[in-house]
Structure formats: structure tokens, C-alpha cells
Structure 1
Amino acid sequence: MFRRQRGATLVELMVAMTLGLLVVAGATQIFVDMRQTFSQASAISARQAEAGFVAQQLLRDVRTAEAIEIDGGALTLTLNGDQGAAYCGAPQTSLELTYRLAEAGGGGALEVRPDCSADASVVMNGLEAFTPTWTESGERHGVSLALTLAETAQLPQRTLSFSITSRQLALRQAVNAEE
């Protein structure tokens, strides 16, 4: 009459295997998506940190500059010689730094070249443009800088713009205006 069934039928096994395969495929897709998101977030974080470092270095140098010259895409700053130790290994009577974009493999590199050295130091790689201009007021104590970050496989092209005023030059101009 009725026989007791032992185990699962072939159809039940196939359904169970298909469901298990769908669960594993979904989990794998979630893992791959999370890994890509993490990789992109890490790339953005690294790029922001590098851009922040460059901005701080430019801010410090422009704010303390005793003279500023803009020649095409080059920004030349004349600094107090005490800052020469950071770039030249010893204090100088005066220090001239030139920031400019140099071509490098796969993009441009922002370089800084102190007048005490024939070698330039790379400040940041992966730039398409470095654009120094005088601020909108036209005063020769403030500069506007634009750093155009190159597009990568993970990140879009971005331009960071900021304006900086040389404290030394602004103060000197204010004192001269009062006289």
C-alpha cells in the first residue's frame, strides 16, 4: 500500500541546490559591490588627503611670501630666508620657490623648485592643470589658485579653487597707503 519515503526526491534536491546557488550568488554580488565601494571611497579619501596637504603647503608659503610673481602657469614666491631650512637644509638670506606643473607619465605633477637647488620636488601627481592668477581685486598681494585633478578610472575630474593673501604684502601695502 503506502510506502514510507526515505530521503529527498531528485526534484527536491534540484530545487534546494538552485535556491542555495541563488543565495550564494547574491552574497557574492553584495561582497563584490561592497569591495568596489570601499576601493572607491579609499581612492577619494587618499586624493582628498593629498589635495589637502598641497593646499596647506601653498597656503603657508603664499601667506608668508614677501613677493609674488605669476608667469604663465608658474607661481614664484620670495620667502624670508628662515624658511630655507625646510627646502635647502639651512637658513638662507632669501628663498625663492617656484611652483609649476610638470608633465609626468599619465598626467601632470605639481613641482616646487627652491632657488637653492637644481632639483624640483614633486608635491602632487595626477594633475591636469595648475592655474595661478591674481585675485579678482587685482591687488598684488593675493592669488587665486586652481588645481585640476585628472580623471582616473575610479574618480571624475575635479577642480579645487581657493584664494590666498600674503600677510606680509597686504600689511606692507596697508602701511604704504597710510603714509
Structure 2
Amino acid sequence: MESKTYISYMQSPLGLLRIGGTKQGITEVNFCEKDAVPAEQTHEMPVCISDCVQQLEEYFAGKRHDFDLALAPAGTTFQKQVWQELQGIPHGKTTSYLAVSRAVSGEKAIRAVGAANGRNPICIIVPCHRVIGSDGSLTGYAGGLWRKEWLLRHEGALRTAAQISPF
């Protein structure tokens, strides 16, 4: 039995966020353009979406470092393993694609880890922005590198050029 997906929108300091979820949990948090918002929206929302909006507001206000939400992202088993690993990166820390690759399935999977990271459907909450290049460079972010830099500065993880930790 398939659950109905609910969609809500939230204005953030980084632009508009599209938040999707079912009664089982959050399925997406993505940046979107204002013209992507439909004229008519349903006001019926599962609790997970209202909780998500509240927790994101607290995060942007600097009052929340960790999220406590039921997540239900769609993806392959490997992608879900990578996204689970990302959730272990603490607020205010960064790690490298190589470190995530080693933790998930070995160094040879680094490209697959990068691809899974780039397909993360739940930005900010599943902190793919905390993964940077081994040399400290801010490589790749689906929401744009300027947003990645903003998020890392907001979390205090980007004070100098290279602050990589294996978390």
C-alpha cells in the first residue's frame, strides 16, 4: 500500500525549500524556485512535515544542531547506506568523500559515494553539505556551492580553508 505524499514549502535564509513527506516520514527537503510552487496547495499535512518545518526554523535560528525526524528517503540500498553514514557527521564538523567511502564500502567506491551524496533527497537534515574534498575544497553541492559554504559557516565548520575530520 502506497502512502500519499504531502508537500509544503518554507522560506529559508538560503531560498525556498520544498518539503515532502508521507505519514511514515520525510521523503525530501530540496531547494526550489518560487515558480515551482503550485497556486493551490493542500493544508492537510502529516505531523512529520510540521515538525520538519519547526526543526529547520530552529536550525536556521542557531537553536538546533541535531534533527529528530522520521526519514523515509527513496533510494537504492547503497544510497541509503551512504545517507545513513552522513547522518553521523556531527554539526560543526566536516569529512571527506574518501572517509565516507571507507566507512561504507571501501576506497574504490568513492565515485559511487559522491554520486549517492549528490542524489541525497533530504538536504540539510541528511548533511551532505558536510562532505568536502580531501584537500579541504568545497566540491559539489546540488543546491549550489554558495549554499554549501553558507551552511558550513552557519554551523561553524568553515573557519579556515581545510578543517576535515573523520568525525
If asked which structure has higher relative contact order (CA below 8 Å, sep 6+), I would say: 2
Q: Which protein has the bigger helix share?
A: 1
Larger Rg: 1 or 2? 1
TM-score band, normalised by shorter chain: under 0.3
Q: Which protein has the bigger strand share?
A: 1
